């Protein structure tokens, strides 16, 4: 494969250009909403492009990109979706989870949870919630929602489907990891979804119902509403409890 086209343009696209394309497309394939994407020169094919212009590049998932390459999706169809990206007109970028009938292990910012319906809960709201399958051999039902540093929902899981909100400043899905940024150099969430094994919260900066959460792979620091200092949670291992960490009194019993 040639490293440059006939204009001397390398295939490498700068990080800032990629981010601008992601923001314009709502962080998912413009055709189907899949967050696992590739960058596609939609206005002029890469072979004829003189520059990587963010206004002329779009997001396609591997499946849709392959159909374009094979000619079963027309350039006109792609252009129509570029004008009205799926994630900005029909709903957030989404992807199905692959977990079995048993709830996966949860590693939440330095603490481990096994067989907990609510590994972490704020008042009545579970940051992650597991419910038993409704039918034999069906997967465990997983729901979750995470907020950014402004208290806005940045990522949710509903009915075992991950949803990346288009209002994020930036979001990527690479391999098993989903990452969200509130601003340049301000990551607010790194979530590793390991199929059939684990859910790992590797980074979190969040404001939820007045509670502020700041965590990495080693520890979770939590500041209660109105408090001046944070409490640190690290190295805990909780198994078989209905609720792992409870922050704020629940109103529903």
Q: Specify the pLDDT at position 9.
A: 85
Residues of the chain above pLDDT 90, percent: 87
Indicate if the pLDDT at residue 253 is higher than 70.
no
Stretch 146-153: mean pLDDT: 97
Rounded CA separation 207/215 (Å): 12
Give the pLDDT of residue 44: 77
How many C-beta atoms surround the C-beta of residue 80 within 10 A? 12
Contact 247, 125 (CB under 8 A): no
Query: 44 or 95: whose pLDDT is higher?
Result: 95
Return the pLDDT at 199. Answer: 98
pLDDT band of 6, cuts 50, 70, 90: confident
Quote the mean pLDDT of the chain: 95
Mean pLDDT for the stretch of residues 50-71: 93
pLDDT band at 51 (very low <50, low <70, confident <90, very high): confident
Task: Provide mean pLDDT across the span 121-149.
Answer: 95
Strand partners, 111: 108
pLDDT digits (tens, 9 = 90+) for 14-48: 999 999 999 999 999 999 999 999 999 888 777 67
DSSP per residue, 22-52 = HHHHTSS-TTT--SSEEEEE-SS-GGG-SS-
Q: 137 Cβ partners below 8 Å, 6+ apart?
A: 101
Rounded distance between C-alpha atoms, residue 169 and residue 70, angstroms: 33
Q: Smallest Cα–Cα separation from 247: which of 217, 216, 221, 228?
A: 221
SS3 142: strand
Q: Which residues are within 8 A (CB) of 84 and not within 5 positions of it... i.e. 6 or more apart? A: none
93 close to 26: Cβ distance less than 8 angstroms: yes
Q: Provide the pLDDT for residue 49.
A: 78
The arithmetic mean of pLDDT across residues 232-236, rounded, is 97
Q: Is the pLDDT of residue 1 over 70?
A: no
């Amino acid at each position: 494969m040639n490293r440059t086209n006939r204009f001397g343009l390398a295939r490498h696209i700068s990080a800032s250009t990629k981010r601008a394309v992601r923001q314009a497309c709502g962080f998912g394939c413009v055709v189907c909403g899949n967050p696992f994407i590739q960058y596609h020169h939609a206005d002029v094919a890469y072979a004829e492009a003189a520059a990587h212009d963010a206004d002329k590049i779009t997001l396609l998932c591997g499946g849709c990109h392959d159909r374009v390459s094979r000619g079963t999706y027309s350039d006109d169809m792609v252009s129509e979706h570029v004008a009205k990206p799926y994630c900005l007109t029909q709903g957030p970028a989404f992807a199905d989870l692959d977990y079995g009938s048993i709830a996966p292990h949860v590693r939440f910012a330095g603490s481990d949870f096994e067989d907990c319906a609510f590994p972490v809960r704020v008042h009545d709201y579970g940051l992650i919630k597991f419910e038993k399958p409704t039918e034999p051999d069906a997967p465990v039902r997983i729901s979750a929602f995470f907020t950014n540093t402004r208290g806005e929902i940045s990522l949710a899981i509903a009915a075992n489907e991950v949803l990346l909100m288009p209002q994020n400043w930036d979001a990527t899905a690479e391999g098993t990891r989903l990452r969200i940024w509130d601003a340049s150099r301000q990551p607010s969430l790194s979530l590793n979804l390991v199929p059939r094994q684990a859910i790992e919260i590797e980074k979190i900066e969040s404001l939820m119902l007045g509670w502020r959460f700041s965590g990495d792979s080693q520890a979770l620091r939590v500041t209660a509403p109105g408090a001046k200092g944070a409490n640190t949670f690290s190295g805990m291992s909780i198994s078989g409890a209905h609720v792992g960490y409870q922050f704020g009194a629940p109103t529903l019993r």
